[in-house]
Amino acid sequence: MRSNYKKIGKFVQQAKNKNNSNSRTVEHLRGINITKEFMPSVANVTGTDLSVYKIVEKNQFAYNPMHVGRDEILPISMLAHEDSVIVSPAYVVFEIVDTNELLPEYLMMWCRRSEFDRNAWFTTDSSVRGGFNWEDFCDLELPVPSIEKQREIVKEYHTITDRIKLNEQLNHKLEDTAQGIYKEWFVDFEFPDENGKPYKSNSGEMVYCEELDMEIPKGWKASKISEIGNVITGKTPSSDYPEDFGIYMPFITPTDYKNYGKFVTESIRSLSNKGAKKLKNKVLKEDSLLVTCIGSDMGKVVINKTQCITNQQINSIILNENKMVEYLYYTLLNSYENLRNIAIGSSTMLMINKTEFEQIKFSHPNRIIIDKFYLLISQCSQYIWVTESMNKKLFKLKEILLSKMATIEG
């Protein structure tokens, strides 16, 4: 052990304030997710005695000692954005004894490292749940440089994470704007007419469409997905040929959607050149629409920004006209419930096969409106794409910084 590595137990102590202490009651019940953030608890506490729940104060820590062996992650977090919350009596709550020796933010950074989770998992007990007790936590070690060095490291970390959050906030606002324009134009039919005025409220002619069982603007029509593009159902290479996997082409699965917003460029696994050639008829060109069509995540939509192949849980549309991409993306995004309603199977294993997917109908605006919408929204999309790409680089930089903590001196 290097001289600056010390046991965590030297710097921490348990905090055991319960929700009936000092005649004070805290109502905000929280849990901790696997991304190590406090979140509103999903537990049903009707009729539960909350007085035995533990209080977590600002800058204190809590962790769930159960399931570490199962999940291989210790759900631990420092309370930073609220003054006080309560957590389950099963949680361990603790605090830094002297913040002039160890910064809470620095310890939380250490706890976010994948190596920390591996060490925690390795020391779990042999129970079915794989528990992680207080003594095990205290026995873990971390490098403890000078307090000035800790502040420097924390500041660098926050510079990265604050930028990530700012980019996410900007993208949410742009997405909200794009969604608002879509609703105004294609749900309320208030797109600009030839005079630049809202169509429907300025006596724009509406006609009944029997195929859609609704009124649509004159000049529009009903179309099927099969009429505006080629639907490709992905495929997973056989596990008998591990050489089909490599680094040549992204292999997108629904799991990859969790790491992206509107656009997808990378994947957890990729195919080799050999593997991609075997599935050459499954290759998707840039700006295709990828729609999950099976399981609990069914109905989620992304746009790919590089050639890729997907697994069989995804139906993708290679569009005949690229300018349809923005309109159809938001149409499918706003058809989430409809897609789930026409699917077959149980609520946890819903499925839409390729044939059913191709027959999905939607209102098809005239070319002028499609072109105007594409020109307007593609500007938002370009910014979203740039900031999403920036965030992917920032996430990698954050992981590098966390990884370098192991070699900190001084």
State the CB neighbour count (10 A cutoff) for residue 239. 8
pLDDT > 70 in the chain, percent: 96
Residue 128 confidence (pLDDT) above 50: no
Tell me the pLDDT tens digit for each residue of 85-127.
999 999 999 999 999 999 999 999 999 999 999 988 888 765 5
Residue 134 confidence (pLDDT) above 70: yes
Higher-pLDDT residue of 132 and 399 is: 399
When pLDDT is cut at 50, 70 and 90, the band that residue 364 belongs to is very high
**Whole-number pLDDT of residue 24:** 62
**Whole-number pLDDT of residue 360:** 92
Look up the pTM and report it.
Answer: 0.81
Average pLDDT of the residues of the chain: 90
Residue 13 confidence (pLDDT) above 90: yes
Degrees to nearest 5, angle at CA 334 with 266 and 177: 80
* Mean pLDDT of all residues in 257-264: 83
**Whole-number pLDDT of residue 3:** 72
Q: Is the Cβ–Cβ distance between 209 and 215 less than 8 Å?
A: yes
* Mean pLDDT of all residues in 16-34: 79
When pLDDT is cut at 50, 70 and 90, the band that residue 1 belongs to is very low
* Mean pLDDT of all residues in 234-250: 91
Q: Is the Cβ–Cβ distance between 306 and 286 less than 8 Å?
A: yes
Residue 130 confidence (pLDDT) above 80: no
Short-list 83, 103, 107, 113, CA closest to 147: 103
